[in-house]
Each structure stands twice: as structure tokens, then as C-alpha cells.
Structure 1
Amino acid sequence: MKTSHSFTLTAAAAILASVLLSGCNQANSSTAATTAEAVIAIPVEATLARQGEISSSYRTTATLEARAEAEVISKATGIVQKILVEEGDKVVAGQLLAQLDNERQQYSLNKEQAELSRLGSELKRMEEMFQRKLISADVFEKLQWQYDALQASVNMAELALRETDIRAPIDGVVSRRYAKVGQLINQHATQSLFHIVSNQQLEAVVHLPEQQLAQARVGQNALLQFAGMTPVTAELVRISPVVDAASGTVRAILKVANAQQLLKPGMFAQVQLQFDVKANALLLPKRALMSTDNNQTVFVIDSENKVSRKQVHLGYQADDTVEVLSGLAPGEQVVIAGQSALKDEALVNVVTVREF
């Protein structure tokens, strides 16, 4: 009887030990699983796919040029007597810039005018005689021709006198003054006296690759960026109908308004020609993309912090942003940093959600 009681106690102790051991194993297993989960949760940065504006564009460089400029020369020979403008002065077409000595031209004009006056009086008398049929029509007509020829000589003398005044051929700014007081100017030497540029409107010449021609249209806008200045808007106004066979490019002209004349010919610009703009496109930062076998994919994070790889089809591309045409929905959370260590169904820890 004693032996049976001892056996019962031993069996009960064994069962209790077994239960305790089982409980410890379950606790240890749960702790290990939790630890494993913490280890495999990969830290990543993410962003939300959003809708916004993006444009199809082409980037290049250009140098500003004056739309109109002129080298001012003299049509007369003479010595410079007066200079009325200096470099940097604004001028309008027809404004007096300088004067040459004109005594010789003035004397020549006075002589021709006196001769014309004498011949005019004689022609008047002859006309009265012709009306009275005292002279033949042949005599009167010859005198009329002489008068007309002398009138032309007077006009030429007046023109020669006017040409001693050097005037601006266009509106603009005097960029260079070559003339000096006392300098002898020879009309046959084509000496430049002034250089005038029109700064009210400038041009930028860009050379578009042949493959961009399908998107380029007259009237499209461009954005010009200058060092240390606010970006300036320009307009595409001309596209050459000929492709340069040597470079495979097409010459295109941008019109740049410069009413405040802050821009100067010769300035260097970074040009972004905007072919088309979408106002409500689905956007992602470029760094979210992974290229696999010429396909673009992204890792999308679900509500359980697990990722799945999705293929996306892209549209327009900007500097740091791309348009997603299909494969993604607005508001989905996409990995933008740390995706190289991921695979489908991987658990992630989203450290930061960045805006773009």
C-alpha cells in the first residue's frame, strides 16, 4: 500500500514537470519568433504616389542673341564734328548720333538751288511764249527737261547734306562707339561708327535632335535659366524646315521678351523646351524605380508592412519625377530607399515617409 502511494506521487510529479517544461518551451518559441520578426523587418524610406503636373521637355543650352542689330556707317566723307551719344545710351530709329562737317555739301546745295531758281524763271517766261505760240514745242520741252534734271541735282545735293548727319537705323542701345571727334570718315572705307543692338526682344537659337521634331511645335513655351537670375519664359517662334545632315539637328528660334532689359546678348542659358504639359498625372520620384530586363518595377507596401514588386509603365519624365501610366494607384505607398535588399513578401519597417 505504501508502494502504490509513492508511485502515484512520482507520476504526478512527472506530469507537473512535463506541463512546466511544455509551457517554458512555448514561451521560448514565442520569444524567438518575435525576435526573428524584428530581425527580418528591413528598414526603408517610402513615399506616396500622388497626382500633379508634369511636362514632356527637352533640355539644352543656348546663347542669347539680339534680334536686330546694326553697324552704323557713314554714306558721306568728312571729319567728325560732334558725337551726341555714348555706349549704353538708348536710341530710337532716326535719332541723331553724330555730325560730320558739311560746308562743302552746303555750298554745293546752294549752287544747285540758285541755278534751279534761274532756270525756273526762264521756264516760266518760255511757257508764256509757248502758250502764245511764239516758240516751238521742241524748244519748250527741252527747257522743261533741263529744269527736271536740275531739280534732281538739287535733290541729290540735299541728300548729300543730310547724309552728314549720322542717324540710328533701329531702336536699341549703343553697344560700341568707334567714332571720335576729329576723325576723318571715308564713305568708301565702310568704317563702322557705332554698333547698336535691340535689347527689347532677344533670341535664343537651339538645335533640336531629329527625334524631337514630332513633339516640337511653334508656340510652345521654354524656360531659360541664367546664373543668379530668376528663370525667364520664352516662346518657340520658328523651326527650320531642313535637318542638318552633319549633326542630325534642326535649328529652332526662341523669342525672349526683355522689356526691362535685364538680359544681355551673349548671356548663356540652360534651356528647357516644354513640349506638352499634363496637369493631373500620377507621379513618382525616379529613385523608386528598379530596372529589370528593360522593365520598370517598384516595391509597394501593403497594410501589413509587406512589399510586393509591381511593374509600371511610364510616360513623361522630368528631372526627378516620372509619370506612371499604369501599374500603380494614387495614394499607394512605394519604397524609395532600401529596395535593393527586398524581395516579394518581405517585411519592412518604414523609417520615413517623404514628400516629393
Structure 2
Amino acid sequence: MSLRLMVLLAAVSLTTCDDDPGAAGPTPPRAVRTMVVDQGGADAYRTLPGVLTAAETMRLAFPVSGRLIEVPLRAGDRMVEGEQIARLDPAEITREITAAEAKLSAALARLDATDAEFQRQRALFERGLVARAGFERISAELSAALADRRVAETELAAARDRLDRITLTAPREGVVTDLLANRFEELAAGQPVYEVAVTATLQAEVLAPEALLAVIAPGTPVSVRLPAFPDQSFDAEVTEIAADAEAGIAYRVKARLAAPPEGAKTGFSAAVSIRLPRAAGALDVPLSALVYSDTQSEPTAGESGTVYVFDEATGTVRARRVRIDGVVGTDLLVTEGLSPGERVVTAGVALLTDGEAVRLWSLPE
């Protein structure tokens, strides 16, 4: 046999083998991870990180005007209820008191002299020795002297009251957050000296995602944990929910502590746990079972989604629409579309198609 014939026969043989459709075995079904769904247990909780802030702030000011000569506290300093925290210069008010005392002494002297003359004129008038016009004139002078005494007494009392008000005392325990006046500054009545955070009224502030707004409102009880006080939790109540979102679709929520622990300060980190009531009959399904091509954002309560349910009788998966009641950790709460005991695919759902034959994944032997 010639060499050319042998090469031709070999090529025909190779071509025949490559074109044989039975030479390679069939593609095995895709292996999938699954789990049997069941009803969950007790209500779940969502914990959000936050920070302690003052639930109440106050601005402290003198009720009188004057020159500030003592202002010992600075931002960050603590104040105790009843503590003297600022003082005005008493010199001007002391001069006012001295002037008012002199004015009152003069008014009293005039009143004594006028009253003595009035008594003399009245005795003469009663005996008919003085005309009515003269008696009425001295009566008017007595009334004016009495009025002058009352004015002088009022001015003196006001000056002494001002002297009592030149010392500023802390009405409550707190921490200075801002110093608003400087020493030797002339202050008007009511001009703030300090801004203070009231330490007895602390609140935790967190940013809550939009989905949580359906389960919280002012008055909702929550639990607060503080890393500075390990192994303790503190009761709190939601007091405020912001009307506008701040970061992404998150809203600022404030929860006031019922009894802040001794030593807690504004700026401490906090963790707020919010109870998520479980709907009757809700099933726990891993988030990884959800087909995200159906969902525009993180699944929230009231939305619907798609999961794949494994049919053991046919060895295939079927797409199933389910209703979502919420998200707890890494699980969906499903209220419609699934029944306890059904098996859902929990990994690789993006690669599956409805009716596809699959096999259950198992560890190699």
C-alpha cells in the first residue's frame, strides 16, 4: 500500500470518530444546594449602630444686663445643679442701690415733714382757722410725698433684686457644649452665656433604613446597649423620626433612654435593637434563595419575589412567586407562596431556569 493511500485512510478514520455524536457522554444535571423551609421562632430584632446625644439642651443667661467678670467653664466641662457658673460685675448695681437708698431717705424725710404739716393744718381746719383751699393743698402735698416714697421703695427693691441676679447658677446637671460669651463682655439681659446638654436626658440616634419605618413610630419601645456598659441593656422609646432621608434611603431616629446609667456621656457609641413582629405563619427563607433580577432594591415588607422550589418527584426546579413580609438578618420572612416542608434552592439561583432538571448537591465521598 502506498504511503499516500495510508495517510488518506487515517484521515478518514479520524474524521469519522470526531463526528460520532455518541463519543461524548450526556451533560449531567446541575447540582444545587437546597434547604427545607419551616416556620421561624419568636419575633426577631434589627440592631442599628448609633451614638448617644442629649435629649434636652438649654441656653443659660442672666436675667439682667451687666459686665461678665466670671465665666469659669469651657466646652466639655460638667456642671452640677446649684453650682455657681458665672457672675456679673456688681459695681454698677451697687451704685444703683446706694442711689436708691439715698432717694428713699430723702422721700421719707419729706413725707415726715409733710405729714407733720398736714396734721397741724387739719387741726386748724377743723377749728375753722384755715381755709379749705389751704387744707386741700397740704393734702395734695401729702399724697405726692406718699407716692414719692413708694417709687423710691420700688426702685431700691428692684436694684437689690438685680444684685441677687448677677450670679448664674446651674439649674440642672449637664455638660457645656458651647461657650457663648467672653469675660469682660457687656451682656444684655437674656443674652446666652452657655449652651448645655442635660446629662439626665440622653437619647440614642441612629439612621434607620426605609423598610423599618413600617414598624416604628414615636412611642415605639426599643432596647439600647452601650459598649461602655457591657452585659447591660437599657429601655428607651422612640421620640422622633426625621421627615427627610439623610444618607441614601435612611432616616434619623431618636430614642430617649428611660434611665440613663450613671457616667453615660454624649458621644458614647450605642446599639439600638428594634423588635420586628413576625406575621402569623411566616417562613424563614435565606436571602440567597431570592432571584434578584425581579427586585429593584433590597426586598422590603409587602413586595413579592421569585424563588426556585425543588420538585423531588420530577427532579426539576420550578419558579415560585412569594410575598415578602420583611428581612431579618440574612433571612426573608415569607408569608405567601410557600408551605412548610418545601425545599427551596439556596445557591446559584441566577443560573437556573424554570423546569430545569437538577440534582441535589452533596459532599463528595
Question: Which category describes the TM-score, using the shorter chain as reference length?
Answer: 0.5 to 0.7
Q: Is 2:38 aligned against 1:49?
A: yes
Q: Is 2:289 aligned against 1:277?
A: no
The percentage of aligned residue pairs carrying the same residue is 20
Q: Is 2:278 aligned against 1:287?
A: no
What is the aligned length? 307
- Please tell me the residue identity of whatever aligns with 1:348: L
For structure 2, which runs of at least 5 residues remain unmatched after alignment?
Answer: 1-24, 124-134, 296-303
The offset of 1:324, in angstroms, is 1.0
Q: Work out the CA distance in 1 between the residues paired with 2:190 and 2:332.
A: 57
- Please tell me the residue identity of whatever aligns with 1:167: T
* RMSD of aligned alpha carbons: 5.2
Q: Work out the CA distance in 1 between the residues paired with 2:104 and 2:140.
A: 20
User: Which has the larger displacement, 204-213 or 168-177?
Assistant: 204-213
Q: Work out the CA distance in 1 between the residues paired with 2:172 and 2:359.
A: 72
Give 3-state SS (helix, strand or coil) of 1:154's partner: helix
The offset of 1:350, in angstroms, is 4.7
Aligned to 2:198: 198
The offset of 1:315, in angstroms, is 1.8
- Please tell me the residue identity of whatever aligns with 1:337: A
Q: Work out the CA distance in 2 between the residues paired with 1:165 and 1:195.
A: 17
* CA 1:251–1:346: 2 relative to 1, 3 Å: closer
Deviations 1:99-155 (A, max 9, x none): 344244224324423543564576578679878956655333322221221122112
Give 3-state SS (helix, strand or coil) of 1:106's partner: helix
Aligned to 1:27: none
Whether the aligned pair in 2 keeps the contact of 1:205 and 1:251 (CA below 8 Å) is no
- Please tell me the residue identity of whatever aligns with 2:336: S
Q: Work out the CA distance in 1 between the residues paired with 2:98 and 2:164.
A: 14
* CA 1:82–1:227: 2 relative to 1, 3 Å: closer
Whether the aligned pair in 2 keeps the contact of 1:85 and 1:98 (CA below 8 Å) is no
* CA 1:174–1:107: 2 relative to 1, 3 Å: same
- Please tell me the residue identity of whatever aligns with 2:142: F
Aligned to 1:158: 160
Q: Is 2:114 aligned against 1:112?
A: no
Give 3-state SS (helix, strand or coil) of 2:307's partner: strand
Q: Work out the CA distance in 1 between the residues paired with 2:119 and 2:255.
A: 65
Q: Is 2:56 aligned against 1:67?
A: yes
User: Which has the larger displacement, 230-239 or 139-148?
Assistant: 230-239
Whether the aligned pair in 1 keeps the contact of 2:221 and 2:238 (CA below 8 Å) is yes
Q: Is 2:359 aligned against 1:347?
A: yes
Q: TM-score, normalised by structure 2?
A: 0.60
Aligned to 1:24: none
Whether the aligned pair in 1 keeps the contact of 2:177 and 2:195 (CA below 8 Å) is yes
The offset of 1:36, in angstroms, is 9.1
* CA 1:128–1:49: 2 relative to 1, 3 Å: farther
Q: Work out the CA distance in 2 between the residues paired with 1:344 and 1:228.
A: 54
Residue 172 of structure 1: which of 162, 171, 174 is its match? Answer: 174
Aligned to 1:184: 184
Q: Is 2:312 aligned against 1:311?
A: no
Q: Work out the CA distance in 1 between the residues paired with 2:250 and 2:141.
A: 67
Q: Work out the CA distance in 2 between the residues paired with 1:344 and 1:313.
A: 23
The offset of 1:50, in angstroms, is 2.9
Whether the aligned pair in 2 keeps the contact of 1:56 and 1:318 (CA below 8 Å) is yes
Whether the aligned pair in 1 keeps the contact of 2:32 and 2:358 (CA below 8 Å) is no
* CA 1:291–1:103: 2 relative to 1, 3 Å: closer
Deviations 1:138-195 (A, max 9, x none): 3333222212211221122113322331333554223355777xx4231259986433
Give 3-state SS (helix, strand or coil) of 1:217's partner: coil
* CA 1:286–1:211: 2 relative to 1, 3 Å: closer
* CA 1:216–1:194: 2 relative to 1, 3 Å: closer
* CA 1:167–1:296: 2 relative to 1, 3 Å: same
Aligned to 1:25: none
Aligned to 1:297: 306
- Please tell me the residue identity of whatever aligns with 1:298: V
Q: Work out the CA distance in 1 between the residues paired with 2:160 and 2:63.
A: 16
- Please tell me the residue identity of whatever aligns with 2:308: F
* CA 1:63–1:217: 2 relative to 1, 3 Å: same
Give 3-state SS (helix, strand or coil) of 1:196's partner: strand
- Please tell me the residue identity of whatever aligns with 2:194: F
The offset of 1:290, in angstroms, is 2.3
Higher strand share: 1
- Please tell me the residue identity of whatever aligns with 2:220: Q
Q: TM-score, normalised by structure 1?
A: 0.61
Q: Work out the CA distance in 1 between the residues paired with 2:291 and 2:352.
A: 12
Q: Is 2:312 aligned against 1:324?
A: no
* CA 1:207–1:175: 2 relative to 1, 3 Å: closer
Q: Is 2:360 aligned against 1:334?
A: no
Whether the aligned pair in 2 keeps the contact of 1:42 and 1:347 (CA below 8 Å) is yes
